[in-house]
Amino acid sequence: MYIHPNMLRKQNRLVAGHRGMKSCYPENTLLSFEKAIELGVDMLEMDLNVSKDGELVVMHDLIVDRTTDGTGAIRSLTLNELKRLNAGVKMAPEFTGLQIPTFDEFCQLVGQHPHLLLNVEIKDKTEECTKKAIRTLNRYNLIPMCVFTCFDADILRLIYQKYDLPTQGFPGFKMQHFEYGLKGTLSYMSAV
């Protein structure tokens, strides 16, 4: 496993932009990520889901209702349908017109900033989402910058065992399929 030098910094903290700079800009939009980068974050955290037609999109919830002007499950909408949604208007009128980014668009943005670390959260807790995410990150040479997060211990085990990549999980009571014990879920998590 490759460890990026930024992960070994002597300071005690890394500053991460959670869903970009979501306190000031619509979460998980390219604008939110750009503003977090401008602010000088060390890491970006983002969430991945899969559209009806199998495209990776950057969005926290499994449904579009909370953050867009649409309704329904991401898995029930095609990429074209998702792109037509307004991902900024619910935060403030001045953000009208922002779109849900594809994971490719996100990778193109962060690829311009080789110092950035990435916290890739698999929200669509499937092997399909995981495999496509890793394939995309490989295509952009971003794998060395990543830690993978999921609330499903089975997905973390897959990432650790099949791909030998660093994983981050949560306390057992917050995770699905968490196994306690020395050989359980904690044995394949790099961070909690």
* pLDDT tens by residue, 30-85: 999 999 999 999 999 999 999 999 999 999 999 999 999 999 999 999 999 999 99
Which H or E run contains 39?
helix 30-39
Predicted confidence (pLDDT) at residue 17 exceeds the cutoff of 90: yes
Residues in contact with 170: Cβ distance below 8 Å, sequence separation at least 6, in sequence order: 151, 192
Residues in contact with 182: Cβ distance below 8 Å, sequence separation at least 6, in sequence order: none
Which candidate, 167, 192, 168, 171, places its Cα nearest to that of 180? 171
pLDDT value for 5: 54
pLDDT value for 11: 63
Cα dihedral angle (49, 50, 55, 59), rounded to 10 degrees?
A: -30
pLDDT value for 9: 53
Q: 74 near 49, Cβ under 8 Å?
A: yes
Strand positions, DSSP E, the chain: 16-18, 43-50, 56-58, 117-122, 146-149, 167-168
Which candidate, 48, 95, 88, 36, places its Cα nearest to that of 66? 88
pLDDT value for 14: 84
Q: Give SS3 for 160.
A: helix
pLDDT value for 16: 94
The vertex-117 CA angle with 85 and 37, nearest 5°, equals: 60
User: Could you list the active site residues?
Assistant: 18, 60
Model confidence over 149-176: pLDDT tens digits?
A: 999 999 999 999 999 999 999 999 999 9
pLDDT value for 7: 53
Residues in contact with 70: Cβ distance below 8 Å, sequence separation at least 6, in sequence order: 64, 77, 81, 82, 85, 86
Which candidate, 43, 54, 35, 30, places its Cα nearest to that of 168? 43
Tokens 């394939």 locate to 135
Sign of CA dihedral 149, 20, 89, 24: positive
Task: For residue 117, give the DSSP letter.
Answer: E
Q: What band does 2 get if pLDDT is binned at 50, 70 and 90?
A: very low
The mean pLDDT of 112-131, rounded to a whole number, is 97
Predicted confidence (pLDDT) at residue 102 exceeds the cutoff of 80: yes
pTM of the complete model beyond 0.85: yes
The mean pLDDT of 119-139, rounded to a whole number, is 98
Q: Chain-wide mean pLDDT for the chain?
A: 94
Predicted confidence (pLDDT) at residue 8 exceeds the cutoff of 80: no
Predicted confidence (pLDDT) at residue 192 exceeds the cutoff of 60: yes
